[in-house]
């Protein structure tokens, strides 16, 4: 990966803090079926983040950290375009807060 690409990915992932913030502030209302229905409607990039993050969101987990780390892993592995990372993470977070 070129240095410029890493810098852009770091910038895009830095803005994920906003998306992850929604997970930290969400009430603990577990509705896995609603979360899965929501995720089924997500674009492929956001669905990938949802699928990577959902199993890791156990009681006591830091939702922001989970989504940020999983998004970073997808970007760095080339499975997610860094230019779409922020929007995809925000969309995934909107479904993950239902979980």
Dist CA 71 CA 63 (whole Å): 12
Q: How confident is the model at residue 99 (pLDDT cuts 50, 70, 90)?
A: confident
What is the Cα–Cα distance from 63 to 81, expressed in whole angstroms?
Answer: 22
pTM above 0.75, yes or no: no
How many structural domains is the chain composed of? Answer: 1
Q: What is the mean pLDDT of residues 36-41?
A: 97
Over residues 58-86, the mean pLDDT reads: 96
Does the structure show a pLDDT above 60 at 21? no
- Does residue 11 register a pLDDT over 70? no
Distances (CA, A) of 67 to 2, 14, 19, 60, 84: 24, 12, 8, 14, 14
Structural domain including 54 reads 3-96
Per the rule left: phi > 0, alpha: psi between -120 and 50, beta: everything else, 78 is left
15-29, 41-55, 78-92, range with the lowest pLDDT: 15-29
DSSP 53: H
């Amino acid at each position: 990966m070129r240095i410029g690409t890493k810098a852009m990915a770091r910038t895009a992932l830095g803005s994920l803090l906003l998306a992850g913030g929604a997970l930290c502030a969400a009430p603990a209302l577990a509705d896995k079926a609603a979360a899965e229905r929501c995720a089924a409607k997500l674009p492929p990039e956001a669905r990938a983040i949802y699928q990577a993050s959902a199993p890791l969101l156990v009681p006591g987990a830091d939702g922001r950290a989970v989504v940020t780390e999983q998004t970073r892993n997808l970007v760095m592995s080339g499975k997610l375009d860094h230019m779409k990372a922020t929007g995809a993470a925000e969309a995934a977070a909107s479904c993950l807060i239902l979980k």
